[in-house]
Amino acid sequence: MRSPRHHRWARTICAAAAALVGCTVLISGQKPAAIQNAAGLRLLVSTENAQPMLGLVLPGHQDTDHAINILFPEHVTARRHGSNEAEHLYLPRPQGEKPAWRRLDRSLQYERDLRGGVHLLARATLEDDGVRFHYELVNRSNVAYDMIYAVTDPRLISIFHDVRLERTYVHHQDGFDLLASETPSRLTMPLDQWLPARYMASFTWPVPTQRVEHRSDGITYYTKSRAVDEPLIATVSTDRQWIVASFSRTVGNVWSNPELTCQHVDPQAPLGPGQQAVLEVKILIFQGSLDQVLQKVNAQRSTLK
């Protein structure tokens, strides 16, 4: 049996090796330290439950005072070739094995095996103006998936929470407009009539004929009558100083669950046997204007997978 002194020595060697390669070697039960960018924005692992969750903290706030909680991912869903039904390859569970997080320079990442013979590597990288979310999905089975996607679910709290979608925007050919501008009654109707709701705007998918649908699950689904020209959804803070904006390279539609408030711009890809799919979403978070959001999206969208 090795002595406690030996284990202390081994941990010291591991820590030194991690420093040399720019990563953190984790000891069981620990989590990597928060990452901070030049603007003071911090990205950290939230370990309250088993599901993979990250927190974003604004400059000058405590690590416990998150502005955004991100389920990373909320779920992974796929559709097999020849089937019309989607299946969940991963769903969060309150109890279960927590991800083994690692820090690599300015990134936090983990890996796990999903159902259906699919392996996931999930990496979040803190950049100067936000966070890039990167998913590598490897199909180790003989099943062909016509579609697979991992749902990045940023839940806006604190100064970004926008239950009535008064500060949440999408972009059309003639400029920015409120996502829910075509439903002015949302501003005055009782919350138990407005919620639960999903508000969507088409990008590559056709705008449905039925644009308000009351489904059997009790949720009302709204779709804007005009398609957006950018795979983008943005929310302005209550003090109008900060902006959170999610975008991807392409997407069927953009949407929000206003009760949370979340932003969804989740891309999809096919995944054949033995193949790999790489999907990315960028969340901008900075002090600035909607015009600056559009400039950043135009400059960075082509860099996303």
Ramachandran category for residue 22: left, alpha or beta (phi over 0 → left; psi -120 to 50 → alpha):
left
Buried b / exposed e along 20-29 (16+ C-beta atoms within 10 A): eeebbbbeee
Which pLDDT belongs to residue 4?
45
Side-by-side strand order, sheet with 269-271: 86-90, 76-80, 145-150, 269-271
CB-neighbour burial class of residue 105 (10 A; exposed 0-12, middle 13-18, buried 19+) = exposed
Per-domain boundaries in the chain:
1-30, 34-303
Q: In the 3-class helix/strand/coil scheme, how is the chain assigned residue by residue?
A: CCCHHHHHHHHHHHHHHHHHHCEECCCCCCCCCCEECCCCCEEEEECCCCCCEEEEECCCCCCCCCCEEEECCCCEEEEECCCCCEEEEECCCCCCCCCCCEEECCEEEEEEECHHHEEEEEEEEEECCEEEEEEEEEECCCCCEEEEEECCEEEECHHHCCCCCCCEEEEECCEEEECCCCCHHHHCCCHHHHCCEEEEEECCCCCCCCCEEECCCCCEEEECCCCCCCCEEEEECCCCCEEEEEEECCCCEEEECCCCCECECCCCEEECCCCEEEEEEEEEEEECCHHHHHHHHHHHHHHCC
Q: CATH assignment of 34-303? A: 2.70.98
Return per-residue pLDDT of the chain as tens, 305 residues: 444 444 444 444 344 444 434 444 454 346 899 999 999 999 999 987 789 999 999 999 999 999 999 999 999 999 999 999 999 999 988 777 889 999 999 999 999 999 999 999 999 999 999 999 999 999 999 999 999 999 999 999 999 999 999 999 999 999 999 999 999 999 999 999 999 999 999 999 999 999 999 999 999 999 999 999 999 999 999 999 999 999 999 999 999 999 999 999 999 999 999 999 999 999 999 999 999 999 999 999 999 99
Pairing of strands 102-104, 23-24: antiparallel
* Angle at 79 (CA atoms; ends 76, 83), nearest 5 degrees: 160
Which pLDDT belongs to residue 27?
40
Cis peptide before 261 (omega within 30 of 0): yes
Which pLDDT belongs to residue 18?
42
**pTM across the whole model:** 0.90
Side-by-side strand order, sheet with 53-57: 35-36, 42-46, 53-57, 68-71, 153-156
Which pLDDT belongs to residue 19?
41
